[in-house]
């Protein structure tokens, strides 16, 4: 291999915090260490949902999205704590601060994971040493475990970080893709969910290897243009750069409207929020994004501007969930002053392909049905025009 080519080869890390919420709780309260622990949206309700759980809990068969009642039957000694998002946000910021002492080429993916381009600070030759130091510092300074994948691109780095948990470091080379990834089911590939896997299965594409060698037209007819992108990744090809500004560029998606009259009644305002939520959901879907911060904007007849926001554990992209949160904020903060303008913004957004929903409420049973319905509504509106069809209030 040419020396120059070896030196200049891109090296990317994907750092993924292990059982992040549970680990933060254990770091704040050492008495919880070594225990079967779960963070639950409503620990007192048997139908409350586990947001995450420790590896000790997983050893008993406990897993994320279980109800509290189910988890307690599997593991009677399970310790439950409510989520504390501000605590997790602070831990996340501290983790990113450590990563940025190595390089500015750090791209946040979510609250607990990041891509880091280390090509210019050591490359492949020093990748293992850099990864070990990052991992040890985060454990020593924050008392939090993480796993790291090392690869020539984002897709392979993210895949590698999942291969050994907790506290793993894995190198995945492009030449290893056919042996390591191709035998796996397409459902195990990052970027492919249950719905896409079912569509691929109908096209007789069962494994990552099947996708890698599938006919381009067949893949495109099955999953659209995104299918061709996934086929490339199945072959270990991913040209995306680590972009520190990426999260800023896709920072928020919103919509606002000036009312025909200065409104003083609640119901008409809520009707406006319903339409705004549908517009925001449509724009999020078009950009394949979801976000964990929702804000409402209120401009009064006296031109006084107000903004109120809320951070949620479940990334928002469905219109009814967006409406529910916006309406709740409005009811809580509107003082009855006549309103001239209303708006909704969803921020702290991430791509669907990088989305791992932090379930904390009892909405998981509706999840698949709502996603299917949202897609149907979107297709109908694409065909007959925006706003032609929308979901009714429940």
Q: Residue 12 in 3-state DSSP?
A: strand
At 284-322, the pLDDT tens digits run 988 888 988 999 999 998 888 889 999 887 789 999 999
Question: Whole-structure pTM over 0.85, yes or no?
Answer: no
At 69-87, the pLDDT tens digits run 999 999 999 999 998 888 9
Give dist(CA 196, CA 289) in Å, integer.
17
The whole-number average pLDDT for the span 129-158 is 97
Q: Which two tokens stand for residue 188?
A: 């195990």
Q: Which two tokens stand for residue 217?
A: 């037209």
Which of 373, 171, 342, 347 has its CA nearest to residue 273?
342
pLDDT of residue 357: 44
Give dist(CA 207, CA 188) in Å, integer.
9
Residue keyed to tokens 């759980």:
53
Whether the predicted pLDDT of 55 surpasses 50:
yes
113 is catalytic: yes
Q: Which residues contact 278 (CB under 8 A, 6 or more apart)?
A: 319, 323, 387, 390
For the chain, helix, strand, coil in percent to 5 are: 45, 25, 30
Q: Which of 5-14, 132-141, 231-240, 372-381 has the lowest mean pLDDT?
A: 372-381
- DSSP character string of 16-45: EETTHHHHHHHHH-GGGTTS-EEEESSTTS
The whole-number average pLDDT for the span 31-41 is 93
Per this entry, what is the length of the chain? 394
At 208-229, the pLDDT tens digits run 999 999 999 999 999 988 899 9
The DSSP 8-state label assigned to residue 392 in this structure reads P
Catalytic residue among 25, 56, 107, 113, which?
113
φ, ψ dihedrals at 80, nearest 5°:
-115, 135
Contact 160, 131 (CB under 8 A): no
Which of 124, 118, 117 has its CA nearest to residue 6?
124
pLDDT of residue 247: 64
Share of the chain above pLDDT 70, in %: 86
pLDDT of residue 372: 45
At 314-353, the pLDDT tens digits run 789 999 999 999 999 999 999 999 999 999 999 888 777 6
Q: Which of 43-47, 115-119, 193-197 has the lowest mean pLDDT?
A: 43-47
The whole-number average pLDDT for the span 275-289 is 90
Q: How high is the mean pLDDT of the chain?
A: 86
How many C-beta neighbours within 10 Å does residue 77 have?
10
């Amino acid at each position: 291999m040419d020396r120059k080519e070896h030196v200049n080869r891109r090296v990317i890390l994907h750092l993924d915090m292990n059982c992040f919420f549970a680990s933060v709780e254990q770091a704040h309260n050492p008495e919880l260490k070594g225990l079967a622990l779960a963070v639950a949206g409503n620990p007192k309700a048997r139908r409350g949902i586990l947001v995450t759980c420790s590896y000790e809990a997983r050893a008993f068969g406990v897993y994320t999205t279980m109800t509290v009642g189910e988890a307690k039957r599997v593991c009677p000694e399970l310790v439950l704590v409510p989520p504390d998002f501000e605590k997790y946000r602070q831990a996340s910021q501290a983790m990113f601060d450590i990563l940025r002492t190595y390089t500015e080429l750090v791209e946040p993916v979510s609250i607990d994971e990041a891509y880091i381009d280390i090509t210019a600070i050591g490359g492949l030759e020093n990748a293992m040493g850099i990864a070990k130091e990052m991992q040890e510092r985060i454990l020593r300074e924050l008392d939090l475990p993480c796993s790291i994948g090392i690869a020539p691109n984002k897709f392979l780095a993210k895949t590698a970080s999942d291969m050994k948990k907790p506290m793993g470091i894995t190198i995945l080379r492009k030449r290893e893709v056919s042996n390591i990834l191709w035998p796996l089911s397409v459902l195990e590939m990052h970027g492919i969910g249950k719905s896409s896997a079912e569509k691929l299965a109908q096209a007789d594409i069962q494994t990552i290897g099947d996708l890698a060698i599938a006919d381009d037209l067949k893949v495109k007819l099955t999953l659209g243009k995104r299918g061709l992108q996934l086929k490339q990744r199945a072959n270990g090809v991913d040209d995306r750069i680590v972009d520190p500004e990426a999260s800023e560029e896709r920072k928020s998606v919103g919509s606002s409207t000036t009312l025909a009259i200065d409104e003083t009644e609640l119901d008409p305002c809520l009707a406006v929020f319903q339409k705004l939520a549908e517009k925001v959901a449509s724009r999020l879907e078009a950009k394949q994004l979801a976000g964990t911060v929702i804000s409402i904007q209120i401009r009064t007849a006296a031109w006084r501007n107000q903004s109120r926001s809320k951070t949620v554990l479940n990334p928002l992209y469905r219109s009814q969930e967006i409406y529910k949160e916006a309406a709740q904020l409005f009811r809580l903060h509107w003082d009855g002053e006549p309103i001239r303008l209303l708006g909704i913004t969803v921020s702290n957004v991430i791509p669907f392909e990088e989305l791992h929903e932090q379930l904390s409420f009892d909405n998981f049973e509706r999840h698949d049905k709502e996603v299917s319905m949202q897609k149907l509504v979107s297709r109908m509106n694409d065909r007959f025009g925006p706003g032609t069809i929308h979901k009714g209030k429940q």
